Chains A and B, each alone.
Chain A
Amino acid sequence: MKQEKPLRRRSYFVRYWQLYAMMVLPLLYFLVFKYVPMLGNVLAFRRYRPGMGPFGTEWVGLTYFSRFWSDPAFWRAFRNTLILSILNLVVNFPIPILFAILLNEVHLLAFKKVVQTVSYMPRFISTVVVIAILGELLSPSSGIINQLRQQLFGKEALYFMNEARFFRIIYILVDTWQYTGWTAIIYLAAITAIPAELYEAATIDGASRTQQIFYVTIPSIMPTIMVMLIISVGRLLSLGFEKVLLLYTPDNSMVSDIIDTLVYRTGLANQNYSYATAIGLFSGIIGVILVSSSNALSKRLTSEGIY
């Protein structure tokens, strides 16, 4: 057997060479565009000099890390990221569940389908368009919201998009608008999979529709809810960078400057490449720790992991 092995290995590759040939180009592409940037993170430990390549020139150890560690701008961004992520999770995690449960109670099938179709359309609209429309709706001079405030309550126009106190609520509501319908698809699928006998039995026992929701629907989709919660906690720090960047103004920067926008500004606007890479790497590592620990937790609690 052992003597045959080299021959068998050769015939193996001869037999499957086309499959390997298909892979060459995409694999090469994948390594260049996903793994080279990953290695490019060494820039966090090296000094960058223009024109001397993307990996920097000499080792400087943890210089850049200790620099951002004592930088108040970093801690402000860190705190903003954390607060915005947690608020967003608290508000936008339950809403799609609630929406799916209510939508499931709609018995006019055609109407249900229309609502469903329309509700996940926002997911496909560009964030630029969403923020642009919001800017119109909230505009202090012509926006409909301010007009209503003035005409109905006689209040002065507010520049919502530019005031720090409105930033977080605007971000979170935009997120609600964009993703509620889309995320609800997963819960709706879980609800559809609940056996009809459970509802029939509940009806015979005299359970009202609200009681059916609390004693049949919610317990049945609990595993899905748990998995989704764990995924969301794992992705806690990955806020919608583009959305924050579009909502960012100098006036709301004390609450809207998150880690990603800080990396963008120090890195690309001020060209402190190594410093920005160090900050990015730090938050990337926290992200990996969050994902892998929430996954481990998920495997222990529900015997279901996401990878």
Chain B
Amino acid sequence: MKTYRSPSSLLFSFVIYLVMVLTLALCLIPFLYMLALSISSPKAIIQNEVFLIPKGLNLQSYIQIFSYPNFFNAYGNTFIYTLGGTAISLTLMILFAYPLSKTRLKGVKVVMRLVIFSMFFSGGLIPNYLLVSSLGLTNTRLAMLIPFAINQFNLILLINFFKSIPMDLEEAAIIDGLDYKGILIRIILPLSTAALATVGLYTAVFFWNDWFHGLIYLKSSQFPVMLFLRNIVTGTSMVGDAAGSGDKSTIAISIKSAVIITSTLPIIILYPFLQRFFVKGVMIGAVKG
């Protein structure tokens, strides 16, 4: 259709594609740089020869971090927190969201007001901390799982999704003799896989990335991997002490990079498959958030 393009239109296209290529580069280069540092030889790193392309392939840093008990332990802890936290969170939110999606049910309006108010005003850091510690959860793994089970944004996302399921299905099921428990399990949940995947992913990413609550509630053997990484970065915790003589600092760099890559890998691997759910979620949530 468009055969003639004016010079200004060409310039316009050029600028746009330039911006987009720059965006791609800015998003990807940090990870490629870390990957290259983590698998290059110490010698090449010292001589500043490594940028985006690894040099002198060397997997030593990965072998080393996995033989480092604290890292291995922290990595395992993160898996526990992510799986456990997501399971608890989804269960509680489904049980809450389904009754709350019935706007006509008595009491629902009051509870919704409580939910929405709590999004704008909350107990601050200290009251939350004191609650968790007076429940005796500090220094237990439960401190990472329990206090964050219900996120109001995700809850509202689920409620909105449940509301969008046609009522006729439910009415038919009631005539067929199904009770509400049966309706939830056999009709609502199978129809909500997209919403459940979205909320499940947001929740899993939250637990995977959480480090601050580990810092204030846990002892070091229970630390998640993100807190382990943060402690390396701040110098609170040391790695690479077994690295040997001369080029200690360089080894530390590739070990740090290896920790960064390993702790982000699950998200990077799963991301291309899951990203459509992420976007779907922001659109459902944006309706009324």
Residues of A within 8 A of B (CB): 12, 16, 18-20, 22-23, 25-27, 29-41, 43, 53-54, 99, 102-103, 105-106, 111, 114-115, 117-122, 124-129, 131-137, 141-142, 144, 147, 177, 181-182, 185-186, 189, 208-210, 241-242, 245-246, 260, 263-264, 267-268, 273, 276-277, 280-281, 284-285, 287-288, 291-292, 306-307
Contact = CB atoms under 8 A, between A and B. Distances in A.
A267 B51 CA distance: 43
A268 B24 contact: no
Given A19-B180, A20-B99, A129-B264, A189 B283 contact: yes
A170 to B, nearest CB: 14
Contacts of B100: 23
Given A34-B122, A210-B12, A54 B130 contact: yes
B125 A264 contact: yes
Interface of B: 6, 8-9, 12-13, 16-17, 19-20, 23-24, 26-28, 30-31, 33-34, 37, 45, 48, 51, 92-93, 95-96, 98-100, 102, 105-107, 111, 114-116, 118, 120-131, 133-134, 146-147, 149-150, 179-181, 184, 205, 208-209, 211-212, 216, 226-227, 229-230, 232-233, 249-250, 253, 256-257, 260, 263-264, 267-268, 271-272, 275, 278-279, 282-283, 286, 288-289
Contacts of A136: 33-34, 37, 253, 256-257
Contacts of A16: 105, 180
Given A144-B51, A185-B279, A126 B23 contact: no
B150 A118 contact: no
Contacts of B208: 126
A268 B217 CA distance: 11
A16 B179 CA distance: 9
A38 B20 contact: no
B127 A43 contact: yes
B149 A19 contact: no
Given A34-B118, A35-B114, A142-B45, A177 B127 contact: no
Contact of B34 (A99, A114, A133): A133
Closest 6 CB pairs of A and B: A37-B123, A40-B127, A280-B124, A26-B96, A54-B130, A126-B209
Secondary structure at chain A's binding surface: helix, strand, loop or mixed?
helix
Contacts of A118: 23-24, 27-28
B125 A19 contact: no
Given A43-B127, A118-B23, A128-B227, 4 more contacts: A31-B114, A37-B124, A121-B271, A280-B126
B125 A292 contact: no
7 contacts: A29-B92, A38-B123, A54-B131, A125-B267, A128-B233, A264-B125, A306-B289
A111 B48 CA distance: 33
Given A23-B96, A268-B216, A273-B126, A30 B115 contact: yes
A26 B263 contact: no
A111 B19 CA distance: 13
Nearest to B121: A288
A270 to B, nearest CB: 12
B150 A125 contact: no
B233 A132 contact: yes
B127 A54 contact: yes
B19 to A, nearest CB: 6
A42 B92 CA distance: 28
Contact of B16 (A106, A127, A131, A181): A106
B226 A106 contact: no
Contact of B263 (A36, A124, A126, A268): A126
Which of A129, A182, A209, A285 has most B Cβ within 10 Å?
Answer: A129
A5 to B, nearest CB: 13
A117 B27 CA distance: 11
Given A22-B184, A121-B27, A129 B229 contact: yes
Contacts of A284: 121-122, 124
B127 A128 contact: no
